[in-house]
Amino acid sequence: MKTGLQIKADLLQQITHSDEVTFSDSTLYKLLETVRCELSMEVAFIAQFEGNERIILKLAKSPDCSAPIYEGFSAQREKSYCQKIADGELPNIIQNTASHPIAKSLIATKVLSIKSYIGIPLYLSNGELFGSFCCFSSQENPNLAEQHVSILSICTQFIVGALERQIQQDALCVKIAGHIDQLEVDGLHQMVFQPITDTVRQKVVGVEALSRFGSSNERSTQEWFDQATFAGVNEKLELRALQQAISILDKLPDDVYLSVNLSSCTLQNPSFWSVIESIPLSQLKFEINANIPIDAVEVVATDIFKLKQRGARVALDDVGIGHNYFKLIQATQPDSVKLKRSLMCCINDDLARKTLVSALVSFASELSIVVTAKGVETKEELLTLMELGIYCIQGFYYAKPLSLNDLTKMLK
């Protein structure tokens, strides 16, 4: 076993290299694993006290350890090593549980085959007892000493900091989620509709449903969705938008489709499939954001195929001109792709961008995929796009997003 000074040096080198250690960061697991190995223990964990329960939050466990312990494992708090160490009924170090009457009598000693143990309480900066940082083994460990308690104490500085950041983030997420829920209750999440025009026929062929929040300009729609993603309620917000959007289908002419936005996560959410289960999809187009994790592409491609089989149209939204986008288009086979808005701005004056967009249009054409441009604001941009073979246009040049009343008047 290394000396205390050697262990301190190793640990500090690993856990002080970054000021941005978060509770979910792999650094925290590295810390647990380092402590476990250096102290020759089979298990290292961070536990939280919640009511009468002690719950394992983070765990590092040797591959050959057979103890039935896992993240989320809970036990009665008052009968746990963690609580008894916090209460002073057990010492921080137990080299051999068989020689300690209280440790020997605990249920955990038998269930987890604990022969040696080391642990310290975790106190938040406000003095609140949060839980504990502990290690144990199924073997006696006569080398455990007070210097190793000081090692755990050093580690708790970083663990507590990470825990408090996570607690603050969780509280912020709850606040954001509550604010978004209140917008729905107050009727401040509404939909507007931007026409999509076929420039060859000079006809509106579709409308995109877009969320708008409240009456102020303090936060953009994208910022609201970014906040929802941060708070873990983005899928819920997208499904609310979807439900609002599809409620106007009967207001649209039969030859005008309704386009709604979805992230790939929402597409994989069972609630999405429940929402669309009983509605005809022939007049719907689902715009899937092209920011799809690599490991999700195959599943998304399957879901896109299922939607198309049911009669819906599917587009990849926010498509760029890099090689990865070409691969994504080929893998998912959408009916159409919608180019990033940033590609449209002053494209008439950018030869390189025109060349790249032209390559994408040719590629899409080979696959019988329609290319749509959004964010088109000037006649020069429009003419350039038409020269490149893009005839489906969305943007202020034709129409801004409209209320349902204004849209129905326009379509008459």
Q: Residue 388's pLDDT is what? A: 95
- What was the pLDDT predicted at 385? 93
Sorted by sequence, the CB contacts under 8 Å of residue 100 that are 6+ apart come out as: 90, 91, 94
Q: What ranges make up the beta strands (E) of 116-168?
A: 116-123, 129-137
> Would you state the pLDDT for residue 81?
95
Residues 6+ apart with CB under 8 A from 343: 320, 321, 353, 357, 373
| pLDDT of amino acid 72 | 94
- The pLDDT of residue 27: 82
CA distances from 61 to 31, 37, 399 (A): 12, 10, 60
Token readout for 74 is 């809970």
* 188-411 classified as CATH 3.20.20.450: yes
Going residue by residue through the chain, which has 412 residues, state the pLDDT in tens, using 9 for 90 and above.
544 445 555 555 555 454 444 445 678 888 999 999 989 999 999 999 999 999 999 999 999 999 999 999 999 999 999 999 999 999 999 999 999 999 999 999 999 999 999 999 999 999 999 999 999 999 999 999 999 998 899 888 888 988 898 889 889 999 999 999 998 999 999 999 999 999 999 999 999 999 999 865 568 898 999 999 999 999 999 999 999 999 999 999 999 999 999 999 999 999 999 999 989 999 999 999 999 999 999 999 999 999 999 999 999 999 998 899 999 999 999 999 999 998 888 898 889 889 999 999 999 999 999 999 999 999 999 999 999 999 999 999 999 999 999 999 999 8
Give pLDDT, residue 7: 52
Domain with CATH 3.30.450.40 in the chain: 4-171
Per-residue pLDDT at 22? 47
Name which CATH class applies to 4-171.
alpha beta
Q: Which tokens hold the place of 356?
A: 């790249």
Element (H, E) at 160: helix 146-185
pLDDT of residue 21: 43
Classify residue 301 as exposed, middle or buried by CB count within 10 Å of its CB (0-12, 13-18, 19+): middle
Indicate where the chain has its CATH 3.20.20.450 domain(s): 188-411
Asked whether the whole model's pTM tops 0.85, one would answer no
